[in-house]
Amino acid sequence: MSWKQTKDAPFFVGYLNAIPRQLVSFLAVFAVCFVGGLGLAALALSSTQNDPGNGGFQWGNRYENKGLLELRPYPVFRVPADGDTPARSYMLAGQGKRGVFSQTESNEGNPVMVRGVPVNRGDLTMIQVGRVEASEDQLGGFTPAEPVPLGRWKLTGEICDGKCYAGAMRPGRGLAHKACADLCLTGGIPPVFVSSGPVENRNFFLMADKEGNLLGDEIKPLLALFIEVEGDVERLDDLMVFKVDLATARVLK
């Protein structure tokens, strides 16, 4: 079959200023379809990503409750069971990139009222503390349960600062967030291990060293990296604690 170019067929010549009308229409339709296709591709890709926080700070849902403050080894707020609602343990953060060690140390073991703003992401909830007040309510003689050991685990995932990952900043993880995470952890925000695999259906773990103490600068070279590390896991009410043995940590590629 032979094909013959006719004088009426549109043809673009680079050194001419005019573009045939038929080609202009084609390019306009192509551009609209191309941009629309990119939008659909972006929507499809974003739907496969983890939720970067359920709205971050829940300003319209201020938190207020009575319980006990403890260091485990980072500040946590232990709330007694109430009817069908089981006891809970919340990680705590202060304003900005600061922890709440001073408020916890001065009130540890005494009933308090904590007021603040929750930050949520999935089943991870952290309370940004606004005020801690002594409470005359003795909480019915509430005695927090001891941690339940769940054995030694080898987990893969990423070390994040709990406040930003919970939704205070987005995405709250990865190399783009490394510098911010470093500042938050230095300021006393609890570190969280985000595991790629669950333990008892939980993927978020408050971190401590293998002895259950605070982690220091030794975790900074591991921030924002996908790592594998071993340690003991404990359940503190509904909060998981991962006591990591950093000597076993290795970066995965």
Regarding pTM above 0.85, the answer is no
Dihedral sign (CA 189, 134, 240, 118): negative
Average pLDDT over the chain, rounded to an integer: 87
77, two tokens: 């707020």
| pLDDT recorded at residue 12 | 55
Cα gap 49→99, rounded to integer Å: 29
Instruction: Label each residue of 167-195 as H, E or C.
Output: HHCCCCCCHHHHHHHHHHHHCCCCEEEEE
Q: What does the pLDDT average to over 224-246?
A: 96
- What values do phi and psi take at 116, rounded to 5? -175, -160
Strands 202-209 vs 239-251: parallel, antiparallel or unpaired: parallel
Instruction: Please determine, for residue 199, whether its predicted confidence score (pLDDT) is greater than 80.
Output: yes
Instruction: Give residue-wise pLDDT tens across range 134-183.
Output: 999 999 889 999 999 999 999 999 999 999 998 888 778 888 889 999 99
43, two tokens: 């929507």
Dihedral sign (CA 199, 202, 206, 212): negative
| pLDDT recorded at residue 6 | 56
| pLDDT recorded at residue 53 | 47
CA 96, chain centre distance (Å): 16
Helices and strands (H, E) in the chain, number of each type: 4, 10
Instruction: Please determine, for residue 2, whether its predicted confidence score (pLDDT) is greater than 70.
Output: no
Q: What does the pLDDT average to over 234-238?
A: 96
Element spanning 66, H or E = strand 63-71
| pLDDT recorded at residue 40 | 87
Cα gap 207→214, rounded to integer Å: 8
Q: Which residue has the tokens 């972006």?
A: 42
Question: Is-cis flag, bond preceding 144, omega within 30?
Answer: no
Q: Which residue has the higher pLDDT, 29 or 20?
A: 29
Element spanning 129, H or E = strand 124-134
Instruction: Give residue-wise pLDDT tens across range 51-103.
Output: 544 446 665 678 999 999 999 999 999 999 998 999 999 999 999 999 999 99
Instruction: Please determine, for residue 211, whether its predicted confidence score (pLDDT) is greater than 80.
Output: yes
| pLDDT recorded at residue 173 | 85
The CA–CA distances, whole Å, from 244 to 145, 152, 170, 195 equal: 22, 10, 26, 13
| pLDDT recorded at residue 42 | 80
Residue percentage of the chain with pLDDT more than 70: 85
Residue percentage of the chain with pLDDT more than 90: 63
Question: Is-cis flag, bond preceding 80, omega within 30?
Answer: no
